[in-house]
Every structure is written in structure tokens, then in C-alpha cells.
Amino acid sequence: MKKVKPKKSKKWFFVIFGIIFFFIITYFGIYLYAKMQPKLPITGANGYHLYDINGDVYTASSNKSVDLKDISKDLINATISVEDKNFYKHQGFDYLRIFKALFINLKSGETLQGASTITQQYAKNLFLDFDKTWDRKIKEAWITIRLESHYSKDDILEGYLNTINYGGIFGIENASKYYFNKNAKDLTLAEASMLAGIPKNPSQYSPLINEEKAKNRQKIILDTMVKNKYISQDEADNAYNTKLNYEKSEDSDNLKMMMYYQDAVMDELKSIKTIPSSFLETGGLKIYTNLDIKAQQVLEDSVNKNITNPDIQMAGVVMDPKSGKVLALSGGRDYNKSQYNRATMAKRQVGSTIKPFLYYSALENGFTPSTTFTSEKTTFSFSGNKTYTPKNYNDEYANGPISLAAAISYSDNIYAVKTHLFLGDDALPDILRRVGINEKLNTLPSLALGAEEINMMDMMAAYGALANEGYKVKPYFISKVTDIDGNILYEYKPNLENILNKNTVYILNELLTTTYASEFKDYNVPTCLSIAPKMTHKYALKTGTTNTDNLIFGYNKELLVGMWTGYDDNKDVSSKDSSNLKNAWVDVMENYLKGKDDKDTWYKTPNNVVGVAIDPISGKAVTDGSKAKILYYIKGTEPSEVKTSLDDSVPTVKLEE
């Protein structure tokens, strides 16, 4: 029998050998080409320095970077053990780990394992954002190769540990100070294993946010250290059972709420197209923000003093209405416990704080402060046998006609719905779009009572147009960004557009002072009368209350402050919560504006506007002996004996008792 030569086997051998040889040549060729490239300037990379409105540094991501020799060996071993156990053996990519993770993920149909090395993670940290595009991933891979080609493993590890995110605190030295008030070199095994667990998911594994999850993560890290022979089982058990005391340094206390401002700054930074995506192109960034430390301190002090319910959440924004500069911000009670920024991210029902825009539209369409509707229990009837029966707070009604001024003072819901129906479905959405609220809003009658959900920053923009006498403003955090050498990469250019009539805005602003005016004490009381004794300045002010939300927006020409309290799970709020919020708001305004004169903070009456003493409820000009409130009118529209009630124009049904 003739023996067959194994030609096919030989052929496949050469094919496989050729493929392997090609990949080896390509692999070394890429690394050789990377070696020939200029050395990446990573010193100070991923460093951003933030400046307040006065040009003073208030935080920096890499202001406390340290040499590797000044970092606890336990922290280094814990990090390598859990993040990249083969760090000192590979050249940037752990191929066996990649194939293993790929196999497990394909088998499960889920992303259960990642395979990023420390070098890859460091390359990612050299970018401003973490977009998951192919272009981005290719750039990261190339930077990984260049890092491995030019720097020692110790250099890479040192850079990584000085830039990694430990729960909003960047760099191990900063984190050591923040969590334990000590230098990174002095961390114990227990402390090191706790900190090493945070970067995987800072919002989950920070011990200040969720200690139970943080301890579970610490256990995993200690177990990997035992497995990789860095420590013994006894050492791991002792470290796990050690009770940790979180003794933050004194200068970290101001991060309790200010970190929300910093997060908002970083979010805005990522949206600026002229900023390079990689820190390597800038050597770091200098970010000049609008943060006013005084305003931030006043905001935090006011919240801590007045919001006494420990379970309720809050958001607050302090803004210069002339420019849109956000001077202070808090997105929650305590950044350590929750990093969710309720000021910039949440959408909540705004309640009666929407009414000033309805009434601006009304004034624009012929209403005056004296225009009346009847305030009584009412069902509104619509086609298709549909009805709507709103109620006033505490079921308080005049059971007779009331002026627009009184409707604002008491936040009368019946008057608001009648106005909305009289003006037509589009009037309120149109004015809201004009002042910068671009939400798609339902035009049901309940829109007049703020039943729609709107973000607080959008509401601040809208109120800004009232506070600055008619100009559209955009709230912003960053005024300028430069590279590390001071070359300007971005500078904010305000574009103020006149969108509202100055005369009408002035009349509305004066009407919003009725919310705390004692002249309106009658069958009802003004919504903010309780805080009037605290006021030494004149403010335009409006509150809003729903079952789940309390809001307040108030201003003069110098300052606009908006605040919210409520629960993340939409539990009902109480009247005490509402009262606390009003007191917090007035404390912010009064403490920030202390020493300023009303001449400098309130608006000058326009030439075409006249003040008239009126009866608060009826809206008629006063007669002898009547209590009066000075309200303002376009000349020629002052009160007369002519009937100003518009009830007959609205389809309603009076509810009989």
C-alpha cells in the first residue's frame, strides 16, 4: 500500500506560522513605532485646577500628587491585586485575561467581567470624558502602548494612583486626607483595602455612601491579596474586622455640598466643543468658575440651620440674574451620602411657581393688577363631558371676585385656571418657551397649577428673565478655561436677548411682593407672610407646593435664589417642610445682601408706569378709610369704575355647598 504524503498538514503549518509571524512583526512594529514617538508629557496630566469668581483656587484634582515611594505598600498591593494582578508582567494589555473575559461574557450573554489593565485605565483617565466610541477606544489603546513604550511600570502606577477617582476625590493622597486625615504613606492595611475598593464604582463603594457594600468590596480585595500572597489570612481577617474611623481633614468639610457645584462644572466642561478631549493636549486645565464662596457658605449654612427634617432632600441655586452666573449650588443635603445632583438632573412638579409666567402673559394681553375673577369652588366643563375641579390650599375661597393682586398673594388656583382658559391653551407654553423652558408641556388646565415636571436650572433661567427686567439668560458655571500655560481655550460670551417688556415685568415684580404684604390679610393670608419679619429688603417672591414638592423662587435685581425640598421616592411633604424652606430661602437672601440698600437692589419705576393705591381684594381705587396697597399700572390702565371681571368669558360651573 502506497503511503500518502501529508501535504495539507504542511500547508496549514505554514499558514498558521505565517499568521503568527505576521502578528509578532506587527506587534513589535507597533511598539517600535510608539517608541519612536515623542514621550507623552504625563506630569500634571489629568490635572484640572478650579478657580472661584475672585480668581482663587478652591480645589484641584492633582494638587496633592505623591511619589510611589510615599504611598502605602498595602494600598499599592491591594490595587494591583484587585485591578491588574499581572501588571508587572504584561506590556499594557493582558491578553489571557481579555480572552477569558470574552469567553465568560459570550457564554453568559452579559458583561460580567472586564479586562482593562492599570495602564489602560490610566490612559482612559487622561481624557475628559469616557465616551464609548470606537475612535475613543482606539486612541486609548494607542496611548496605552505609548505609555508602556516610554515609562517604567512604577511611573505608570504612580500616575494612575494620583489620578484615580476615589468618590469625587481624585488621587490617593487627596483621598487619604479626605477619608482618614492622614498621608497616603501612613495608611494601614484596613484603610488601604477600603480605599482600593472605591474606584470600581465610587457611587456604590464609598464607605461614606454605603458602608455595607464598601465592606463587602473590602472583603473581596483582602481575599485577592491573600490569593496573590501579599498578606496572610490572619492579616486579612484582622484588617476586615478593624473598625475604621473616618476623620476627614478640616478643609474637606466644605465639600459636603460644594462638590455638587464641582460636578456641575465638570459636566459643563464636557459640553464645551473647543476643549480638547485629552488632557495630554493641554498639560492640564485651569477652569475659572463663577463660584462665590460667600454665597456657597450662606447657602449651606441656611440649609443646615433651617431644613431640620433629616430625611428630606433639597436642591438650591444662587444666581446673578443680570448675567446668568451660578454663584452657588447644592444638589442635595450631603454629597458623601448621595452624589445625585437634584439641581441639575432632577425634574419635579413646579406647582404654583409657574404662575408668574401665566400672569405675565395675562398682563401682556390686557390684564391689570385690578382684573378680577370670582374665587369659589368651581368645576370647569369641557367638551366630551370632561370636567376639572381644582381646589385652593386649605379650601379657602373668597366666594366673590378678587383682583389679580390678591390671586398672586394667596396663590389662588381657581383664578389661575380661569386665567389659563381665558388666554387659551398656547399662551402659557409660549411664554415658557420664550423664557427658556423647552420641555414638551401638556396644555391641560392643570398646567396653570404647575402639574408638569421641569428641571430647576430651567426654572432659574425663566425667573432670571423676570429678575433682570426682560432679558433671556442661560445659567452657567464656567467663565473661562485655559491650558496649564494660560492660553485661553474657551471664554463664555453672554448673549442677552430682550424677550419681555420692561414695563410689564416691573408690574409683575411689584405684584410678586404681595406674597408677603400684610395689607392682604383678609379672608386668607399671603403665602409668605410668615417670613416678612425677617426681610430688610424688597423681593419678588413665589412659592409652590404639591403633594410631593416644595419650591420657592425669589429675587431682586442683584440676586436670584431658587430652592426645592422633597423626597427622592416621592413621599408626601408636610406644611412644616414648606415653612422650613421659606426660612432657608430668606436667610440666604438676607445674609448675602447684608449691608446693601434697597436703592441698589430694587428696580427703578419705568416712565410709562404709575403707582396707585388700591383696595387689595377688589382691585378698586381706595376710598377714605380703606386699607390700601400701592400697585403699578401702565399709564391709562389705572382702576376706574368700569367692570374688570372676566368671569363670563370662562366655561365654569359653580359647585353648590
Catalytic residues: 83, 352
> How far is residue 119's CA from residue 114's CA, in Å, rounded to a whole number?
14
Quick one: cell of 96?
489571557
Place of cell 370670582: 374
DSSP 46: T
464 vs 323: CA distance, rounded Å: 9
Residue listed under C-alpha cell 478631549:
277
Beta bridge partners of 330: 316
Going by C-alpha positions, the residue among 639, 633, 601 that lies closest to residue 620 is: 639
372-375/540-545 β-pairing? unpaired
C-alpha cell at 342: 437634584
Which grid coordinates belong to 297?
A: 457658605
The CA distance from 554 to 582, in Å, is: 10
3-state secondary structure 449-497: HCCCEEEHHHHHHHHHHHHCCCEECCCECEEEEEECCCCEEEECCCCCE
Q: DSSP label at 40?
A: P
Using alpha carbons only, give the angle 456, 460, 466 rounded to the nearest 5 degrees.
145
CA 245 to chain centre: 30
How many angstroms separate the CA atoms of 422 and 362, rounded? 9
User: Which contiguous run of DSSP H or E holds residue 630?
Assistant: strand 629-634
Q: Quote the DSSP letter at residue 603.
A: P
CA distance 519 to 298: 31
Other Cβ atoms closer than 10 A to 466: 24
Q: Residue 275's closest CA among 267, 124, 505?
A: 267
Q: Cβ-count burial of 550 within 10 angstroms (0-12 exposed, 13-18 middle, 19+ buried)?
A: buried
- Strand 488-491 and strand 497-498: the pairing is unpaired
Q: Is the dihedral of CA 467, 473, 476, 479 positive or negative?
A: negative
E strands in 224-330: 285-289, 313-319, 326-330
In order of 49, 320, 333, the CA distances from 481 in angstroms are 10, 20, 29
| Residue 560: burial class (beta carbons within 10 Å; 0-12, 13-18, 19+) | buried
Q: Which residues of 236-260 are buried (b: 16+ CB within 10 A; e: fewer)?
A: beebbeeebeeebeeebeebbbbbb
Neighbours of 74 (CB within 10 A): 22
Residue 604: strand, helix, or coil: coil
